[in-house]
Structure 1
């Protein structure tokens, strides 16, 4: 059995567990553990901030491989908002990202939505969409103060 399939079987029993494994793998640059968090479906989709839409497991893997080739990524999910049902979960969050620059580490932010489906192998990510954010995104907003588009 391929290594990624073995690791996929070890991802936890909830969407929260899968999200924790995803960000842990992201921070450690472990492509196999990161891909174990994804559903093995042709329709999975990923969009990195300012990037193109990647559809399918191979494209998602290639996108993260390219990201990892640029150096270590440190990102933490914060201010997570969840909508959950029996077979799906949607997490909207702010990613606090540490970026290494010539002047040392700097903070950046992204606003992300992660979508999970419950599969025969457990909870798996089917979509990750991140957009550039700002420090203002770290401020909690009440539903009444958010703007709709």
Structure 2
């Protein structure tokens, strides 16, 4: 029987793989991160500015397009919390995102997003079932921090 700490470490690793896949543009890793339809029915992905994506094929197609069209993206995760109940885990965090949206050197945009990632434990390990990210609106007094 695995300890709670070991389970949380495995969930944290699966969550890290999700962000690594985006940062490195690795669609094969992204494909391994997401559960198969028979492991977690009704896969869903929600990102700021996107329509809701349902189903593995639609989600993979969208991530392929994102990875092919963003020259640089980096995530710094803060306020990360992991909860586990049986074969379901929830990771909540703040994504502090840096992106370059065109090929001009030095162009970087930043933003903060709050996220909930749900994972299901499968024979292959912890796999993503749902990703839901919402933008955080910065107040004027937050911008100077």
Same fold (TM over 0.5): yes
Listed as ranges, the matches of 1:32-111 within 5 Å are 32-41=28-37, 42-71=41-70, 72-100=72-100, 104-111=107-114
Superposition TM-score, scaled by structure 1 size? 0.75
RMSD after superposition: 2.0
- Secondary structure of 2:29's counterpart equals helix
- Secondary structure of 1:112's counterpart equals strand
- Separation (CA, whole Å) in 2 of partners of 1:135 and 1:78: 16
Gaps of at least 5 residues in structure 1 are 1-12, 140-149
User: Match for residue 127 of structure 1?
Assistant: 130
- Separation (CA, whole Å) in 1 of partners of 2:42 and 2:121: 15
- Separation (CA, whole Å) in 1 of partners of 2:44 and 2:34: 10
User: Match for residue 22 of structure 1?
Assistant: 18
User: Match for residue 115 of structure 2?
Assistant: 112
- Separation (CA, whole Å) in 2 of partners of 1:48 and 1:79: 19
Q: Contact between 2:25 and 2:68, CA under 8 Å: does it hold in 1?
A: no
Gaps of at least 5 residues in structure 2 are 1-8
Aligned-residue offset at 1:69: 2.3
